[in-house]
Amino acid sequence: MSETRRYVIRRTFLAPLGLALLLMGALLVVSILHGQPAAKVLFLLVFALPVTVLFVESALRRVEIDATGITVFRLLRSRRLEFSRVTALEAVQVRSRMFITLAAGDDEFLIISNGYADFPELVRTLVAVLPPVAITDEARKLADAPPKGHADLVTVWFMVAALVYVLIAQFRS
């Protein structure tokens, strides 16, 4: 592999999450303009803060795979593993979430979820570049038939619908 491959969090997750954040901001402004109690405004702020952190963290998160290794970039930090040091590529499924773990010895590892766009391609790329002895049967099965779970999308779109409902109710009162 000569070119660097970049994988980012699915835009189908980031778009509704960003929309939910915008709706929270609009609801906050409307609540302040309508003279809502301070407790309600504080309640909105408490919920908007983790959504903001999740959005920023997700928007900045990426995985890069080059000829010699893999680098995971997160908010304010990054970690790299050289392929020559990887001792295991494992896969674990928890409901609709799939995780792969790259391990290099006892104390160095990377965990990557199926929240990334082109996750099946990411797994296939890793299976292709790593030595066969390092790849578990579960990881091989994942490369052959990745799951198609979208529970996180349903949750985020539900949050958007709920916020739209609350905003409409706010204008009607």
| Higher-scoring residue by pLDDT: 170, 64 | 64
Tokens standing for residue 136: 């578990």
pLDDT at 96 over 80: no
pLDDT tens per residue, range 18-36: 999 999 999 999 989 988 8
CA dist 130 and 113 (Å) reads 18
Place of tokens 């995780």: 99
Q: Which residues of 85-119 are buried (b: 16+ CB within 10 A; e: fewer)?
A: ebebbbbeeeeeebebebbbeeeebbebebbbbeb
**Residue 97 confidence (pLDDT):** 82
How far apart CA 85 and CA 123 sit, in angstroms, is: 18
DSSP for residue 67: S
Average the pLDDT over 62-66 and give the result.
Answer: 96
Computed over every residue of the chain, the mean pLDDT equals: 90
149, pLDDT greater than 80:
no
What are the residue ranges spanned by the domains of the chain?
A: 5-172
Higher pLDDT, 153 or 82: 82
Q: What is the SS3 assignment for 49?
A: helix
Structure letter (DSSP) for residue 37: -
Two tokens, residue 92: 């674990």
Q: Which phi-psi region, left, alpha or beta, contains residue 96 (left: φ > 0; alpha: ψ -120 to 50)?
A: alpha
Average pLDDT estimate for 56-63: 96
Mean local confidence (pLDDT), 7-24: 95
Say what the pTM is: 0.84
CA separation, residue 169 to residues 8, 22, 27, 172, 173 (Å): 36, 17, 11, 5, 6
139, pLDDT greater than 90: no
